[in-house]
Structure 1
Amino acid sequence: MSERPVTADELPITWALTTLGTVVDYGRTEKAEPEEFDDDDWILELEDIEKSTSRLLARLTCAQRLSKSTKNRFATGDVLYGKLRPYLNKVLIADRPGYCTTEIIPLKPGGHLDGRYLFYWLKHPAFLAYVAAKSHGMNMPRLGTAAGKAAPFVLAPPAEQKRIADQLDSVLARISSCNDRLDAVSALLQRFRAAVLSAAVSGKLTAEWRSERDSEPWHTCSLGEVTASSFYGPRFGKSEYTSDPLGIPTIRTTDMDRYGRIRITSDTPRVSVSPEKLEQYRVLAGDLLITRTGSIGVMAVFEGNQLAIPSAYLIRFRFRSRLRPTFAYYRLAAPEGKRDLGLSTTAVAQPNINAEAIKRLTIALPSLAEQVEIETRVQGLFAVADRIEARLAVASTCAQELPRSLLGKAFRGELLPQDPNDEPASELLARIATERASAIASPRARRPVQRKPTRAPKESAAMTKSRQDDDVKSHPYLARHLRRLGGSASAEALFGESELPVSDFYKQLAWEIEQGLIRDGKTVLEATDAT
């Protein structure tokens, strides 16, 4: 399985298995405060990236987003990795500079990595399995800095990285196009079923059938004229519900499928009621059930002789003999019926519907013989759509699995032939180590500010921490620094040690004072025993 960890033994001899922190500086970010943003700067949030596909759903500017929080700065070519809920698989390659939420980590590939190769590895099933196991937090899990640095990374020779990325770009684009076309087929099938129902209740579906027979003409009446009875499902007290599987099922909207069928399962709630109440409310074969509130307009025809009672938010209709229940369902489920119920895409949906409003709707009523013929034809056409949909589901599953399989092959060296003349990854690792050692030994050059030259540099721009970091927010972060400073210090001294921007520092300080972690001694701040 591609989710299992990659081992060095299965890699080509010129490749290497290392860690993400060895090849990129995972977790190192450059903070920026809202006052540094221009109105037309790109502000990226996690919600702008579609899960799994990495499609950019929206590109909003500072003026549009009105951002008021600290962000991470990123440059063109950076690989932007969503560390919050990493199972959503939100990764993006920046095509222009901008600022992103601190829940996104910009990764700089440098000269030794192809950014696309890094991007694809972060989407590899084995990497996703690793981050799922290492993320911390129950409701909002995150991949921490230490775990991110220790994450596995398959390093191919530089030339091979580009070849792999080029091939993945090409093949995955075709798979994405295939998925789009499969989605289009699903939409076409929905339109086909809607068109069949429209033809069924308008008489077009059986026009030729009628012309070949001396059939009765259709006549128009209200649904109320052909309704024998209707009622709302009863409400049950807590004492009436039972875990006994022999209890009476209470049909819910979720027990109805989109094709007007009812499926009672072991999850359907059961009740224990008196024989009188059961007789009063039980559904019979041919009853039409319509949801009147919540998922308004979901409907189905009850078939069979199983004992069951509709839930309180369902309306049960029982029709006279000249209207077959299935034809009544076709009338209400067709696009025209949804429009009349106020449920079409162009209508404003009603908060609920009621039995009397439904009874006032008109219906063009054919003879019983033609109703039977219509049902036969609709069921035959729907069966064809069902078979196509089943094949579509298989094709869609295969298309969705292809990227996982493709990534598995790519990072085992099986996607393309190996070139023996490629520089081995071991030499690349040695060069990366040398470059890092040199960078540590040399003073880091301050990044030149190319825009806004008239603005004085802000102290927050040099800060490496944010209040959104895992070890800061909701933790005694400043109190720990106070203890390292001897237990007390001035606000200025604590700020200098905190590595936080000014606004984040004071927010964190106010929170820790409120929590009793720090005592404000007016001239100095003191760590309390609560830490």
Structure 2
Amino acid sequence: MKAQDLKNSILQLAIQGKLVEQKVEEGTAKELLEKIAAEKKQLIQEGKIKKQKALPAIKEDEIPFDIPDSWEWVRLGELCNYGKCNSIPATKIPKEAWLLDLEDIEKDTGRILNKKRMKDVKSNSSKHIFNTGNVLYSKLRPYLNKVVIADEDGYSTSEILPLDFGMNIFDRYAQIVLMSPYFINYTVKCSYGVKMPRLGTTDGQLAVFPLPPLEEQKRIVAKIEELMPYVEKYDVAYSEVVELNKKFPEDMQKSILQYAIQGKLVAQRKEDGTAEELYQQIQEEKKKLIEEGKIKKTKALPEITEDEIPFDIPENWKWVRLGNLLNKLTDGTHSTPKYTVTGVPFISVKDVSGGKMDFSNTKFISQEEHDSLYKRCNPERDDILLTKVGTTGIPVIVDSDQEFSLFVSVALLKFNTDLIFNKYFMYAIKAPVVQIQARENTRGVGNKNWVMRDIANTILPLPPLNEQKRIVDELEKLLPYTKQLVK
């Protein structure tokens, strides 16, 4: 339950007479109405107010819920001057007077966000006059719940109705009723207009209002004000829990990947051999390909120092530099090609940043330009693409035979898939140990870049080949469950 839902529940209980107990000594709402009627009659006789047309009696089917026996249902128009506001031309309003606009009221809270003075506003339209203690009700988009009690005399735009409830209706209780779920639902049903729905004067006057005795009104308000600080604390706690829930699946994935590349997810087996043996096979295969002229010899990478190693791994594993595992490490073209309407897809970081290849919104280049670019950078099925500009460190396995070319924002990782399982490679890059290095080594201010030299120097743990496969099997059993944690 959100904090606003909890607040709404409290307001609804309040106007149903379920928040505080009823006390016999406080009298009844019927007696209060008789007192209000007598005072109105006196004011009419003195010429201070005009006699208003009687509103229709409340029918049974208009009553939305039960209220205590000491309460009464009464029409809103019988309790206040709904729709009968005094107005004044803007030119006659004092420059230092308070002018209230809808935008100055916070949604759902009734808080005043800004107190403008007439001198700071350019407006020639007439304004409503209100007095201290008036309930200022927004008839425009009433579902926004913008209801304020005036703490000083002032003027409002025409969308705001100043309601004078007199001395026998506690202004804060009236505000609570107008902000309650019951009244909001009523206004939604009765409002007219599409873009800017509003509550009409007649519908506002005819709205039924749950009225308790005056002293009970005050006790209801006191109880709500006692509870609201707890609602605010709940709101903070709820927001923290929501944020935690959002992060939890991602954090759980990171933890599982971290366990995997620390050698803690599956057992080590003697018959799998060692990563050192595997690493030597990889180097021998690279040497052979260099001698055959199939790949180019690259500059030797520095030995891994003790202080670079972030955690212990099993004895049969090996810390390696990413570049030493690769037959080829390059990136896409550094020059913007000439785009065509159709042709060969041209992949950039945006097309792989979602964690998979997405051809749905790619640009295209000609076959001729693709053939030229492909001589240097030739992505093929089972290779790994790695984002290196803007959003860095996202690995994607090429799972298509579709021909495509790459932009500079994506690196190409080619390796011997008979000796390194590409899915293990992908998960190792996704793991915190590599992601931290990607983040620390991404340079620049605007379009940040993870440069090729730093990608090559990235360290990661290498297990024997069969263990790589068993790690991937286990990961693909566990990781789908993390996605279900948000449901």
TM-score for the superposition, normalised by structure 2: 0.50
Contact 2:321 2:459 in 1 (8 A): yes
- Determine if contact 2:352/2:396 at 8 Å carries over to the other structure: no
User: Does the aligned pair in 1 maintain the 2:352–2:387 contact within 8 Å?
Assistant: no
Q: 1:358 to 1:174 in 2, by over 3 A?
A: same
Residue from 181, 191, 210 that aligns with 2:237:
181
**Partner residue of 1:38 out of 92, 95, 113:** 95
1:281-311 deviation line (CA, Å, top 9, x unaligned): 999788669799xxx859966679699999x
**Amino acid corresponding to residue 189 of structure 2 in structure 1:** A
Q: How far apart, in 2, do the equivalents of 1:28 and 1:305 lie?
A: 71
Task: Find out whether 1:319 has 2:392 as its counterpart.
Answer: no
String of CA shifts for 1:403-455, please: whole Å, max 9, x gaps. Answer: xxxxxxxxxxxxxxxxxxxxxxxxxxxxxxxxxxxxxxxxxxxxxxxxxxxxx
Look up the SS of the partner of 1:179 in the other structure: helix
Q: Does 1:113 align with 2:146?
A: no
Supply the distance in 1 between the matched residues of 2:199 and 2:437 (Cα, whole angstroms): 48
Distance 2:99 2:438 in 1: 44
5+ residue gaps, structure 2, are 1-7, 17-60, 259-305, 368-373
Please state how far the C-alpha of 1:55 moved relative to its aligned partner. 4.1
Q: C-alpha offsets along residues 334-385 of structure 1, whole Å, 9 cap, x if unaligned?
A: 798499577xxxx7xx5xx59xx56569446112439x8x999x99999999
**8 Å Cα contact 1:80/1:105 also seen in 2:** yes
Equivalent of 1:207, from 310, 318, 321? 310
Q: Report the CA distance shift for 1:66/1:154 in structure 2 as closer, same or farther (over 3 A).
A: same
**What is the identity, as a one-letter code, of the residue corresponding to 1:10?**
D
* In 1: Cα distance, 2:116 partner to 2:178 partner: 27
Cα distance in 2 for partners of 1:337, 1:299 equals: 8
Query: What secondary structure, in the 3-state scheme, does the structure 1 residue paired with 2:81 have?
Result: coil
In 1, the alpha carbon distance for the partners of 2:403 and 2:153 equals: 61
Deviation of residue 229 (structure 1)? Answer: 5.1
Aligned to 2:459: 366
Equivalent residues of 2:392, 2:442 under 8 A apart: no
The one-letter code matched in structure 2 to 1:59 is N
Contact 1:288/1:299 (<8 A) preserved: no
Matched AA of 2:93: E
Query: Quick one: distance in 1 between partners of 2:206 and 2:145?
Result: 18
Residues 463-478 of structure 1 mapped to structure 2, 5 A cutoff: none
In the TM superposition, 1:39-438 aligns within 5 A as 39=96, 41-56=97-112, 58-62=113-117, 66-69=120-123, 70=125, 71-186=127-242, 207-209=310-312, 215-216=318-319, 226-227=329-330, 297=391, 318-321=412-415, 324-325=425-426, 337=439, 340=442, 353=447, 357=449, 362-363=454-455, 365-369=458-462
Q: CA deviation at 1:53?
A: 3.7
Label 1:316 to 1:115 Cα distance change in 2 as closer, same or farther (>3 A).
farther
* Kept in 2: contact 1:8–1:17 (CA 8 A): no
**Contact map agreement 2:165 2:171 (CA 8 A) in 1:** yes
Quick one: which amino acid aligns to residue 209 of structure 2? F
- Contact 1:262 1:300 survives alignment (8 Å): no
Identity %: 24
Per-residue CA deviations over 1:220-266 (Å, capped at 9, x if unaligned) read 99x9x8456589999997x99xxxxxxxxx9998998xxx66799xx
Q: Structure 1 residues 236, 191: closer, same or farther in 2, change over 3 A?
A: same
Q: Aligned pair count?
A: 349
Query: How far apart in 1 are the matches of 2:401 and 2:162?
Result: 60
Q: Is the 8 A contact 1:233 1:309 kept in 2?
A: no
Distance 2:238 2:213 in 1: 37
The TM-score normalised by the length of structure 1 is: 0.47
Q: 1:147, 1:178 → 2: CA distance?
A: 36
Q: How far apart, in 2, do the equivalents of 1:7 and 1:263 lie? A: 59
- Give the distance between the partners of 1:120 and 1:367, measured in 2 at CA: 61
Counterpart Cα distance in 2 of 1:126 and 1:340: 55
Local SS of the residue matching 1:120:
helix
Contact 1:42/1:62 (8 A) holds in 2: yes
Q: Name stretches of at least 5 consecutive residues in structure 1 with no aligned partner.
A: 241-249, 391-531
Cα distance change, pair 62–366 in 1 and its aligned pair in 2 (3 A): same
Q: 1:369 to 1:252 in 2, by over 3 A?
A: closer
- Taking a change above 3 Å as real, the CA distance of residues 262 and 173 of structure 1, as seen in their structure-2 partners, is farther
Matched, 1:10 2:104: no
**Match for residue 438 of structure 1?**
none
Given residue 460 of structure 2, which amino acid in structure 1 is its aligned partner? S
- The structure-2 alpha-carbon separation of the partners of 1:303 and 1:362, relative to structure 1 and needing over 3 Å to count, comes to closer
The structural deviation recorded for 1:94 is 3.1
Q: Specify the structure having the higher radius of gyration (Cα).
A: 2
Distance 1:309 1:113 in 2: 77
Residue aligned with 2:175, SS: helix
Superposition deviation, residue 156 in structure 1: 1.8
Q: Aligned in 2, Cα 1:157/1:95: closer, same or farther, shift over 3 Å?
A: same
Q: What is the match of residue 44 of structure 2?
A: none
In structure 2, relative to structure 1, the CA distance for the partners of 1:333 and 1:219 (3 Å cut) is closer
Distance 1:251 1:45, change over 3 A: farther
Q: Structure 1 residues 113, 368: CA separation in 2 closer, same or farther (over 3 Å shift)?
A: same
CA distance in 1, matches of 2:157, 2:441: 43
Distance 1:214 1:387, change over 3 A: same
CA distance in 1, matches of 2:232, 2:161: 26
